[in-house]
């Protein structure tokens, strides 16, 4: 069949399916696109001609549409995603941040930015960057370091091998992330004889590989001789749908489990083995056991600095690691015994190999006691009486309003750390916090992706004023698509998280409060400030088409959350919190370097504290 390269790509994408555990479905749910001269006559025409092949969605921001695709892919456990197309130039580079979010979080998304003319006849065209030392380069080179696969389609027939390679990476659970096919605008419109086989339905099998049997037996022996083992459940538990297997494993062995941001929800919050969040934003339950653990079993975690509290969490001099991970890159970290395989299949195999073994009863009871003590601490923080309300009380109100199957979405600022500690998860897909890249602006767009992936669930988006101002545009897309989101817009008049961090480093919250410039200065972030900017974010949200509730008190917030259930479109609930009232750190630390030399006494004092804490960092070799 003779088709343009763009037509061939659209039909190919529509024919791609995945299958795991006998369940088969389409891989691409549709295509987001913002059209310009670099893709309107190619990809745009192909989507226009074949609306039944690949559903087109109209976003408002190039970055936002990638975030939506990422949120969708995460909610679908990496088994489905969207394609995203833009013109060449700023449309393309606007997607780079979204590409980084996808790749850092190991989530599949296909990016198809337009590119310069392959023929080079009209060069330089509008939005083309000319480099005197490289005639074959364009702004799309920016995608190379944030893509798991990159190709540029110089000739129409090259779309065949390029598309197949793209799918190879997208469905690979170990290697997935952003895939970029840079598509020169003239090549998109050029025709070639497309092989029939390229357009036929293709099913990609996603298997459940097991680790090497010798490695499994080595890991089993380490577990059997350990006295204080600890599980760290990461995103791989959720993506491989291993929560049930993990629960059975913990019930049988009594090994307690802490959770990373991506792994939160691996076990219900009230399970006896659950210690909650671990690391820099962890609970005292998880961090106290982590400090004494002699064996740490990481399941589907990449061991970020927040998970390890900058390598201060695991303090036992003899601690060893067993790493279950589909990616050998992550499985080899901390010099652990690498169990390279699917999380669910590997947990089930270890369960068999450990039949009859369990931890000492006193250790199991101690973990369960810590779980109950932590639950009491959450209740205390949820009930704080404060004016304006503490952020923890806002989280508690939303947590109370949410049903077990509902989803909370967040990404950046102080909210993710508080959610990691406090949110009571009851469903493996009920917690969706993007903390691999912690990208400000992800929240609303990512929440839309979650809702598209799981329309039967209520989606609660918690977003601070800083993130809202960076990227609120996909609220319009949610209105257009009639997708119900309940967005709790938490206003603390600036950058609360970095304000607190700045104050802890002796910098008085420099550059983090939204206020007028006076006498040449923006001033510092101090209690008692009143010269705030007259920004009305609730009015802004209303102007974008959302139903808006203003909730100055917690009582108003609870009433608004109840009223929001009856709405069918996007809802924004605007509430204010105290930027200076935070959730404590619990036996944890995060390495943020402080100036070694300073004229400011408070900075010098912060440096002394930093040096003392840094002395606890260690390399796990």
Give this prediction's pTM: 0.97
Residues 556 and 429 in one domain: yes
Find the CATH number of the domain harbouring 249.
Answer: 3.40.50.1220
**Residue 77 domain-assigned (yes or no):** yes
Domain boundary among 374, 398, 420: 374
Cα–Cα dist 577/559, whole Å: 17
- The length of the chain is 621
Residue whose tokens read 């606890």: 616
**Residue 251 domain-assigned (yes or no):** yes
- Which CA distances in Å does 111 have to 305, 474, 579? 29, 18, 38
Residues 229 and 351 in one domain: yes
Residues 345 and 397 in one domain: no
Phi, psi of 266 (to 5 degrees): -60, -35
Residues 193 and 303 in one domain: no
Find the CATH number of the domain harbouring 410.
Answer: 3.40.50.970
Cα–Cα dist 554/568, whole Å: 23
Secondary structure (3-state) at 407: strand
Find all residues with CB under 8 Å of 97, minimum gap 6, and list them: 63, 66, 439
Are the beta carbons of 606 and 504 closer than 8 angstroms? yes
Q: What is the pLDDT of residues 26-58, one digit of tens each?
A: 999 999 999 999 999 999 999 999 899 999 999
pLDDT on residue 522: 83
Residues 201 and 217 in one domain: no
Output helix, strand, coil percentages for the chain, rounded to the nearest 5: 40, 20, 45
Beta strand residue intervals within 260-319, DSSP E: 274-277, 295-299
**Residue 347 domain-assigned (yes or no):** yes
pLDDT on residue 364: 97
Residues 427 and 556 in one domain: yes
pLDDT on residue 150: 98
**Residue 589 domain-assigned (yes or no):** no
Phi, psi of 445 (to 5 degrees): -65, -45
**Residue 289 domain-assigned (yes or no):** yes
**Residue 590 domain-assigned (yes or no):** no
Q: Identify the CA nearest to 497 among candidates 610, 410, 572, 431.
A: 410
Q: What is the pLDDT of residues 329-359, one digit of tens each?
A: 999 999 999 999 999 999 999 999 999 999 9
Are the beta carbons of 172 and 79 closer than 8 angstroms? no
Find all residues with CB under 8 Å of 360, minimum gap 6, and list them: 227
Beta strands 23-26 and 16-20 are antiparallel
Beta strands 486-491 and 431-433 are unpaired
Residues 128 and 225 in one domain: no
Residue whose tokens read 């929240």: 443
Domain boundary among 328, 351, 374: 374
CB atoms within 10 A of CB 575: 24
CB atoms within 10 A of CB 265: 23
Q: What is the DSSP string of 446-482?
A: HHHHHHHH-TTS-EEEEEEHHHHHH--THHHHHHHTT
pLDDT < 70 stretches in the chain: 528-529
Task: Provide the edge-to-edge strand list for the sheet that holds 202-205.
Answer: 23-26, 16-20, 202-205
Cα–chain-centroid distance for residue 31?
Answer: 21
Residues 254 and 131 in one domain: no
Residues 399 and 470 in one domain: yes
Tokens representing residue 225 in the block: 């001789």
**Residue 389 domain-assigned (yes or no):** yes
> Containing domain of residue 26, as a range?
2-205
Residue 52, Ramachandran bin (φ over 0: left; ψ between -120 and 50: alpha; else beta): alpha
Tokens representing residue 588 in the block: 């944890």
Residues 256 and 312 in one domain: yes
pLDDT on residue 163: 98
**Residue 150 domain-assigned (yes or no):** yes
Cα–Cα dist 608/621, whole Å: 28
H-state helical runs in 190-242 = 196-199, 213-225, 235-239
Residues 54 and 143 in one domain: yes
How many domains, the chain?
3
Secondary structure (3-state) at 610: helix
Domain boundary among 187, 205, 223: 205
Residues 567 and 419 in one domain: yes
H-state helical runs in 411-455 = 415-422, 442-453
């Amino acid at each position: 069949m003779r088709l343009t390269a763009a037509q061939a790509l659209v039909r190919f994408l529509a024919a791609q399916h995945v299958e795991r555990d006998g369940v088969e479905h389409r891989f691409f749910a549709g295509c987001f696109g913002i059209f310009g001269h670099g893709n309107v006559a190619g990809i745009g025409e192909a989507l226009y001609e074949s609306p039944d092949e690949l559903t087109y969605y109209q976003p408002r921001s190039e970055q936002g549409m990638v975030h939506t695709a990422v949120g969708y892919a995460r909610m679908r456990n990496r088994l489905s995603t969207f394609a995203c197309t833009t013109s060449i130039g700023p449309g393309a580079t606007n997607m780079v941040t979204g590409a980084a979010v996808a790749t850092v979080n190991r989530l599949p998304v296909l990016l198809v930015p337009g590119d310069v003319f392959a023929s080079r006849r009209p060069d330089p065209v509008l939005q083309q960057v000319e480099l005197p030392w490289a005639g074959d380069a364009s702004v799309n080179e920016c995608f190379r370091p944030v893509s798991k696969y990159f190709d540029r389609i110089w000739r129409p027939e090259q779309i065949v091998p390029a598309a197949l390679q793209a799918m190879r990476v997208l469905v690979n659970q170990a290697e997935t992330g952003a895939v970029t096919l840079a598509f020169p605008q003239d090549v998109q419109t050029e025709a070639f004889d497309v092989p029939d086989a390229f357009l036929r339905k293709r099913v990609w099998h996603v298997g459940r590989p097991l680790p090497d049997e010798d490695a499994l037996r080595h890991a089993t022996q380490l577990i059997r001789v350990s006295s204080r083992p600890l599980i760290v459940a990461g995103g791989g538990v959720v993506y491989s749908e291993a929560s049930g297997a993990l629960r059975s494993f913990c019930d049988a062995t009594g090994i307690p489990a802490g959770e990373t941001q991506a792994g939160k929800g691996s076990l219900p919050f009230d399970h006896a083995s659950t210690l909650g969040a671990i690391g820099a934003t962890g609970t005292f339950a998880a961090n106290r056991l982590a400090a004494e653990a002699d064996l740490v079993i990481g399941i589907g975690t990449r061991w970020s600095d927040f998970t390890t509290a900058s390598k201060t969490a695991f303090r036992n001099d003899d601690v060893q690691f067993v790493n279950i991970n589909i990616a050998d890159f992550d499985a080899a970290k901390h010099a652990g015994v690498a169990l390279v395989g699917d999380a669910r299949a590997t947990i089930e195999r270890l369960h068999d190999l450990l039949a009859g073994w369990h931890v000492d009863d006193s250790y199991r009871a101690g973990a369960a006691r810590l779980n109950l003590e932590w639950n009491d601490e959450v209740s205390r923080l949820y009930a704080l009486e404060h004016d304006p309300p503490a952020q923890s009380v806002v989280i508690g109100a939303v947590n109370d309003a949410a049903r077990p199957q509902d989803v909370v979405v967040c990404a950046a600022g102080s909210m993710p750390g508080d959610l990691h500690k406090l949110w009571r998860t009851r469903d493996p897909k009920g917690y969706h916090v993007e903390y691999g890249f912690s990208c400000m602006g992800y929240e609303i767009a990512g929440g839309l992706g979650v809702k598209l992936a799981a329309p039967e669930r209520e989606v609660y988006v918690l977003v601070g004023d800083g993130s809202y101002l960076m990227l609120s545009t996909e609220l319009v897309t949610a209105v257009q698509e009639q997708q119900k989101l309940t967005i709790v817009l938490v206003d603390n008049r600036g950058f609360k998280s970095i304000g607190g961090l700045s104050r802890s480093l002796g910098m008085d919250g420099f550059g983090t409060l939204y206020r007028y410039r006076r006498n040449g200065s923006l001033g510092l972030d101090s209690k008692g400030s009143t010269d705030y900017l007259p920004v009305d974010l609730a009015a802004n949200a209303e102007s974008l088409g959302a139903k808006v509730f203003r909730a100055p008190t917690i009582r108003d917030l609870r009433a608004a959350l109840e009223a929001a259930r009856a709405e069918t479109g996007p809802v924004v609930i605007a509430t204010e919190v105290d930027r200076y009232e935070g959730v404590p750190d619990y036996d944890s630390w995060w390495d943020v370097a402080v100036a070694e030399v300073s004229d400011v006494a408070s900075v010098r004092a912060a440096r002394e504290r930093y040096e003392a804490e840094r002395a606890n960092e260690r390399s796990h070799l």
